[in-house]
C-alpha cells in the first residue's frame, strides 16, 4: 500500500540524484513509479515542484522550500523509528564505509576485528577512494574525509585533528642535506598530489599562503604511495601524523621544521560524513561511537 511518506522520499531521491532515472536506479524501482509519485504530490499541492528539461531536473522556488521542510520532517520520523528499533534490537545489516587508503590501513584496519566482535549483526563493506566521492552514486553510507567539508547536504561528525608534518627519510637527508628554512625547500625534491587542490598546500610559515604553494617534482594520487616514496628516500612530503606515527618512532622518517608548521589548519580536520536523512543511523552511530575514542590521530 502506497504511503504519503514514500512519495516524499521519492521526491528527495530525485532532488539528491539529479533526475528521475538516477533516483530510480538508486532505489531500484521503476522510473514510472518515481514519476507518478511526483505527479501525485504536485496535484495534491496544486504547485509545480520541479523544473524538467531533457538534461536536468531542478527545484522550483516553491519546491525548494517544500523539500527543505520535508527533509526535516522525514529526518524526525527516521530518528523516531530508529530509536524504537534500537530499543528492541542491536544494529544489524550492511554498512558501507569509504576512506582514503592511508586512513583505512593505519586507523580503521586495526579496529575492525574488535568492532565485528562487538557488533556481529553489522556487515561491513570497506572501500578505498583517494578523492571525494558522491555517496549516492557510489552507494556508500558513510565516508571518512580529511580536510574541510563544503557539501552542505551532508551531516558531518568531527573525529578530531591530525597534525601535518614535513618528513623525509634519513637516506634522503644524507644525500641532499637537511632544509632548515622554507626557502631551502626550493632546492629539494618535493612530493605532491595529482589534481588534489589544497592537498598541495603546505601550512608552513614562510611559504606563500595560497591553495598550492609548493613546486613538486614527483606526484601521486595516493597518500600511501607518497608515504612509501618518502620512506624510499625519494623526497620530502607533507603528511598527516595518523599515517606516519610508527615511521617517526622507528626512525624510517624524520620530522622537518616542526616549529614552522601553522596549526590549526584545514587539512588537519578528520570527520565522518553521511546524509542527514539516512535511515542507517543506528549502524553509523555504532561504528562512529566505537572508532572515535580509539583513533590514533596525534
Q: What pLDDT shows up at residue 95?
A: 92
* 257 class by beta-carbon count within 10 Å (0-12 exposed, 13-18 middle, 19+ buried): buried
List the domain boundaries for the chain.
4-87, 90-160+268-294, 164-262
The tens digit of pLDDT for each residue in 8-63 reads 888 888 888 888 888 888 888 888 898 898 899 888 888 898 888 777 788 888 88
164-262 — its CATH code? 3.40.190.10
The tens digit of pLDDT for each residue in 74-100 reads 778 777 777 666 655 678 889 999 998
- In words, the CATH class of domain 90-160+268-294 is alpha beta
Low-confidence ranges of the chain (pLDDT < 50): 1
Q: What pLDDT shows up at residue 280?
A: 63
Quick check: do 4-87 and 164-262 share a fold?
no
4-87 — its CATH code? 1.10.10.10
Written as one string, the DSSP assignment of the chain is: ---HHHHHHHHHHHHHHTSHHHHHHHHT--HHHHHHHHHHHHHHHTS--EEE-SS-EEE-HHHHHHHHHHHHHHHHHHHHHHHHHHHHS---EEEEEEE-HHHIIIIIHHHHHHHHHH-TTEEEEEEE-SS---TTTTT-SEEEEES----TTEEEEEEEE--EEEEE-HHHHHHH----SGGGGGGS-BEEETT-GGGG---BBTB--SSS----SEEES-HHHHHHHHHTTS-BEEEEGGGTHHHHHHTSSEEE-GGGB-SS-GGGEEEEEEETT-S-HHHHHHHHHHHGGG----
Amino acid at each position: 500500500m502506497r504511503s504519503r511518506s514514500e512519495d516524499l522520499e521519492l521526491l528527495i531521491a530525485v532532488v539528491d540524484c539529479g533526475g528521475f532515472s538516477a533516483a530510480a536506479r538508486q532505489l531500484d524501482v521503476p522510473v514510472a513509479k518515481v514519476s507518478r509519485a511526483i505527479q501525485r504530490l504536485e496535484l495534491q499541492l496544486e504547485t509545480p515542484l520541479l523544473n524538467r528539461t531533457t538534461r536536468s531536473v531542478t527545484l522550483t522556488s516553491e519546491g525548494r522550500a517544500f523539500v527543505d521542510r520535508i527533509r526535516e520532517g522525514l529526518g524526525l520520523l527516521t530518528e523516531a523509528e530508529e530509536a524504537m528499533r534500537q530499543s528492541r534490537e542491536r544494529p544489524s545489516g550492511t554498512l558501507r564505509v569509504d576512506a582514503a587508503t592511508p586512513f583505512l590501513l593505519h586507523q580503521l584496519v586495526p579496529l575492525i576485528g574488535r568492532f565485528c566482535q562487538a557488533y556481529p549483526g553489522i556487515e561491513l563493506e570497506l572501500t578505498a577512494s583517494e578523492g571525494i566521492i558522491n555517496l549516492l552514486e557510489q552507494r556508500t553510507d558513510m565516508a571518512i574525509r580529511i580536510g574541510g567539508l563544503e557539501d552542505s547536504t551532508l551531516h558531518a561528525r568531527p573525529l578530531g585533528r591530525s597534525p601535518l608534518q614535513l618528513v623525509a627519510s634519513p637516506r634522503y637527508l644524507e644525500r641532499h642535506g637537511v632544509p632548515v628554512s622554507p626557502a631551502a625547500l626550493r632546492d629539494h625534491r618535493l612530493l605532491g598530489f595529482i589534481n588534489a587542490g589544497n592537498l598541495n598546500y603546505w601550512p608552513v610559515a614562510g611559504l606563500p599562503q595560497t591553495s598550492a604553494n609548493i613546486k613538486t617534482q614527483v606526484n601521486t594520487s595516493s597518500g600511501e604511495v607518497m608515504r612509501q616514496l618518502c620512506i624510499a628516500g625519494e623526497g620530502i612530503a607533507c603528511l598527516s601524523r595518523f599515517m606516519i606515527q610508527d615511521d617517526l618512532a622507528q626512525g624510517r622518517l624524520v620530522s622537518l621544521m616542526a616549529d614552522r608548521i601553522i596549526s590549526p589548519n584545514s587539512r588537519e580536520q578528520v570527520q565522518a560524513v553521511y546524509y542527514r536523512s539516512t535511515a542507517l543511523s543506528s549502524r553509523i552511530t555504532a561504528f562512529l561511537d566505537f572508532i572515535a575514542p580509539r583513533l590514533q590521530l596525534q
